[in-house]
Amino acid sequence: MKHIILSLSLAFAILCGCSQGQSPKEQKEALEERVLAVHDTAMAKMGNIYKLRKGLRTLRDTLETQQADSVTLNNLQTQIQLLNRADEAMMGWMRQYKTPAEDMPNEQVINYLQQELVKIKQVQTLMDSTINAARTTYKPYDQNK
C-alpha cells in the first residue's frame, strides 16, 4: 500500500511539474515518454531474469541428482518461480498497455498514463527485488566468481 501511495504521489508530482508552461499535448508526450523510459529500463533487465532462471534450474537439477537437502531445493524452486512471476508481470503489462489514441480527451490520456506509470514502476520494483533475491541465492554456488 505504501508503494502505491508513493507511486501515485510521484506520478502526481510529475504531472504537476509537467503542467507548468506545457501544452496538454506536451504534457501527454512527457508522461508517455516517462512510462516508456521506465519500461525500457525494466525491459533491459529481462536478460538477467533469463540467465538467473537458467542458472538456478541447472543448479537445482544438479543438486537434485546429488540428493541435496529439500530446504535447498525448495529455495531454488521458489526463486525460479519468483523469476517466472517477474517475467510474467512484464509480459502482462506489455500485453495490456495501449498507446493512447490521438482523439482521446487530454484528461483521460493523462489519467491513463499516470495509472500505467504506477503499474510499470511496480513491475520494475518486482523485477529488481526478484533479481536481487535470485542473485543472493545463486551466489554461493556461482563458479564464475
Average pLDDT by stretches of 10, the chain with 145 residues:
52 55 86 97 97 97 93 97 98 96 92 97 98 96 72
pTM (2 decimals)?
0.80
What is the three-class DSSP state of 98? coil
- What confidence score (pLDDT) does residue 24 get? 81
The three cell numbers of residue 48 are 538477467
How far, CA to CA in Å, does 8 sit from each of 43, 53, 111, 114, 136? 22, 32, 11, 8, 30
The whole-angstrom separation of Cα 81 and Cα 119 is: 21
**Residues with Cβ < 8 Å from 133, sequence gap 6 or more?**
79, 82
Find the DSSP H helices in the chain.
2-19, 24-43, 46-65, 70-96, 106-138
The whole-angstrom separation of Cα 31 and Cα 79 is: 34
The whole-angstrom separation of Cα 131 and Cα 118 is: 20
- What confidence score (pLDDT) does residue 2 get? 52
Give 69's DSSP letter: -
- What confidence score (pLDDT) does residue 145 get? 52
Buried-state track 111-130, b at ≥16 Cβ within 10 A, e below 16: ebbbebbbbbbebbebbeeb
